Chains A and B, each alone.
Chain A
Amino acid sequence: EDQVTQSPEALRLQEGESSSLNCSYTVSGLRGLFWYRQDPGKGPEFLFTLYSAGEEKEKERLKATLTKKESFLHITAPKPEDSATYLCAVQVTYGGATNKLIFGTGTLLAVQP
């Protein structure tokens, strides 16, 4: 069964304290991995797409990497405004011609000033 697991469930950091969030997956036929940020009561905001092992993407203090079994979202010198839930989703083939996303349950990040 296709599955996406995110860890830790929650993470509390001090401002400036770098860390990483993990997204591990077991799927048949990965077609892409996506990272989203979600603020409370709002829709997810797209951050990155990764397609193949070894690929890396960066945006401000965030850097996403991908291996054959997992992805990491590295947060360098985080600020309080980085506090949010970070969602990982894996794209798999669904119904023949359609791709669907399987989402993890997210990591709730809190950055203390």
Chain B
Amino acid sequence: DGGITQSPKYLFRKEGQNVTLSCEQNLNHDAMYWYRQDPGQGLRLIYYSQIVNDFQKGDIAEGYSVSREKKESFPLTVTSAQKNPTAFYLCASSLRQGALQREQYFGPGTRLTVT
């Protein structure tokens, strides 16, 4: 089955620790995205990548870092600099757009709790 996998489903960390969230897709999509979802707010874009070895900051990139060494993988690191890291993190992918945006497909999410 083609799709997007995120691991782990739940993650607990102590304040001050960096943590890396995994995202893998086998849809052969070029573009990949990271969002965070907080209660009462819409999904907000953290980082995105259109091709391998290239990525750009989204609206709320401070305190996060990413890499895109393979087409299938787009891991997100939540660093200790992120002030409010507790959230539901969603990874998505889409075909690289031409004139029209193609839909984004989402993974199951990782719920990160930092205490």
Contacts and interface: CB of A to CB of B under 8 A. Distances in A.
A105 interface: yes
Interface residues of B, number: 26
A43 B42 contact: no
B40 A43 contact: no
B108 interface: yes
B100 A42 contact: no
Interface in A13-57: 31-32, 34, 36, 41-46, 49, 51
Nearest to B57: A95
A105 B39 CA distance: 9
Given A34-B103, A43-B90, A46-B103, A102 B108 contact: no
A100 B48 contact: yes
A62 interface: no
A101 B104 contact: yes
- 4 residue pairs, one from A and one from B, having the closest CB atoms: A103-B42, A43-B106, A103-B43, A91-B101
Given A31-B100, A32-B101, A49-B103, 14 more contacts: A31-B101, A41-B111, A42-B108, A43-B92, A43-B108, A44-B43, A44-B106, A46-B103, A87-B42, A91-B101, A100-B48, A101-B45, A101-B101, A106-B42
Interface of A: 4, 31-32, 34, 36, 41-46, 49, 51, 87, 89, 91, 95, 98-106
25 contacts: A31-B101, A41-B109, A43-B4, A43-B106, A43-B107, A43-B108, A43-B109, A46-B103, A46-B105, A46-B106, A49-B101, A49-B102, A49-B103, A89-B43, A91-B101, A98-B50, A100-B58, A101-B45, A101-B101, A101-B104, A102-B42, A103-B43, A103-B44, A105-B41, A105-B42
